[in-house]
Structure formats: C-alpha cells, structure tokens
Structure 1
Amino acid sequence: MLPRSATVRDLNQLTARVFDSTGNGARLDAYRIDETFHIDIDLPGVDPAGIDITVDRKILTVRAERKQLEGDDVHWDVAERPTGPASRQVFLSDTLDTDRLDARYENGVLTLSIPVKPKAEPRVEVSAGTAAN
C-alpha cells in the first residue's frame, strides 16, 4: 500500500498531465478510491461499441464519435449538441496495473478503473554461517 502522501502526489501528477489531443476532447474526472484509480469521461450519446480504449507505453487513449442523425427526411432547425470524433489522452503512472483496466459505460459516462500495483517490499536474504570468534 502506498503512503497517503505518495497517493496525493501521484494523483496530482496524473491529473496535471491530462491533456486534450484533438480540441474536441471529452471532459473527465480522475480520482482514487482506496487502491483503485478511476477516470470518468463524459461521452453522452455515444454507442458503447464504438468506444476505442488503448494503453501504449503508459499513455491511455480514449476515442469515440457521436454521430448526427442523417437522412433525406431529416431537416435540422437547431443543432447545438456537439457531434463528431472526440478523444482524450492521459499519461498514467507506473504504479497503475493497466493489464487489469476495467471499462464500464453507463448513462453517458465511461468509467475506467485501474488497480494500483502493490508496493514491492524489499527482501533481505539471511545466510547461515559460522559465528566469528
């Protein structure tokens, strides 16, 4: 388990390095509960099957597209809601176990849950020998 001071520092570093790669990024929240780091990304109106999530060299990338209704019989009077592709990238800490990332989409929010790796305890080998006189 990481010390609480490291937890706050790690979270601050992670959220400070979040950036929007396309200018049409989805808004997100990042937070930690116990030993799991969570990222909530707003993706209203997106088909969950069309959400693409990748992790490459500790860079998490989420891509999705919200499509506008089309057809010969559709005549728009007002179209204020954003459509088209959206993406976000987040630099992840080495302390996160991205192999166990879990993704859930509910009510227009994509929630990613990433467990924190257990902190390695240093091991000291004790060898048996004769006592020096």
Structure 2
Amino acid sequence: MAMYWDPFRELDRLAAGMLDSRQGPRVMPIDLHRDGDHYVLSADLPGVDPGSVDVDVDGQLLTIRAERTLRSNEDVQWLAHERPSGSFLRQLTLGEGLDTAAISAHYENGVLSVVIPVSEKAKPRKVEVQTVAAKSENPQVTSGASS
C-alpha cells in the first residue's frame, strides 16, 4: 500500500498531540435553530455509545455529556489516529421563556437532537382591544384619560 507522506501534516499532528494533552472534556460541535414554537439543538457525536449520552437541566443550565471510548487493541500499530476519544461536554445557559420541564432528546445516527419548547407565557399572543361605550350607556366606564 502506497502512502503519501507530508512532513507538515505530521508536524501538525505531533504538535496537536502535545498541545492538546489535556485529559478533560472536549467540546462537541452543535447547531441550534428555532422551528416554530421550539428550539432544536443538534450535536454531532459520531461513534459515541448512546448509553453514555447524558442530558441534564439544572435551572437555566443545559449540560450535555458523552463518552467515546478508544478501541484498544494492544497489538495494533496506529498509522493515523485523528479521531478524538474521551469525554465530551457542552453547557448552554437557557434564556427566560423556555419550558425546561418539557425538554426532550433523542440520539440517532451519531447526532443528538435536543428539543427545547418555548413556554406558553412566552409565545406571541393576540391581545383583544376593547372599546369604551358612550358615557351615557355606562357611566362607570371611563376612557382612561386623566384631566
């Protein structure tokens, strides 16, 4: 098998390995959009065991955790090892007007989707405009203007 060797790519890989030596959680890429009366968050988590995905809501803080374990085979000689493994973490502060009790999530084909509904009190609504009857018909109603 012929392989193309790029010394700059190899230096980048080595530098990334040395500089990213932290054992803490890695960040997962997300997309977030509004679809009608709810928000949809999509997080890319390919290769993650669905049992390791954890979604928590604490007040206005949404936390997503996941774990991708490295396939360990002691007899393997790695030629390229670019896919990150370990813990992944993302935290978002949710704004007011969201129904945090009704948040739902599902994981399919390596993508976690979290649906965050807008609360009923934050949804746009129509306000009825009332008219004031003539003073002679209803003496108790005033126009609200002060003199």
Return the alpha-carbon distance in structure 1 between the equivalents of residues 111 and 35 of structure 2: 18
Matches within 5 A, 1:88-107: 88-107=90-109
Give 1:37 deviation, angstroms.
0.9
Secondary structure in 1 matching 2:120: coil
Which structure's relative contact order is higher, taking Cα pairs within 8 Å and 6+ residues apart?
1
2:86 to 84, 104, 107: 84
Matches within 5 A, 1:19-38: 24-38=26-40
Return the alpha-carbon distance in structure 1 between the equivalents of residues 49 and 25 of structure 2: 21
Contact 2:25 2:87 in 1 (8 A): no
For residues 90-127 of structure 1, the C-alpha deviation after alignment (integer angstroms, 9 at most, x for no partner) is: 110121111111101111110000111012789xxxxx
Q: Which has the larger radius of gyration?
A: 2
- Give the residue type in structure 2 aligned to 1:107: N
Give 1:23 deviation, angstroms.
6.6
* Equivalent residues, number: 104
Distance 1:67 1:23, change over 3 A: closer
Which residues of structure 1 form unaligned runs of 5+? 1-21, 123-130
Matches within 5 A, 1:115-126: 115-119=117-121
Secondary structure in 2 matching 1:119: helix
Identity, % of aligned positions: 42
The structure 1 segments of at least 4 consecutive aligned residues displaced by more than 6 Å after TM superposition are: none
Match of 2:111 in 1: 109
Give 1:57 deviation, angstroms.
1.7
Match of 1:70 in 2: 72
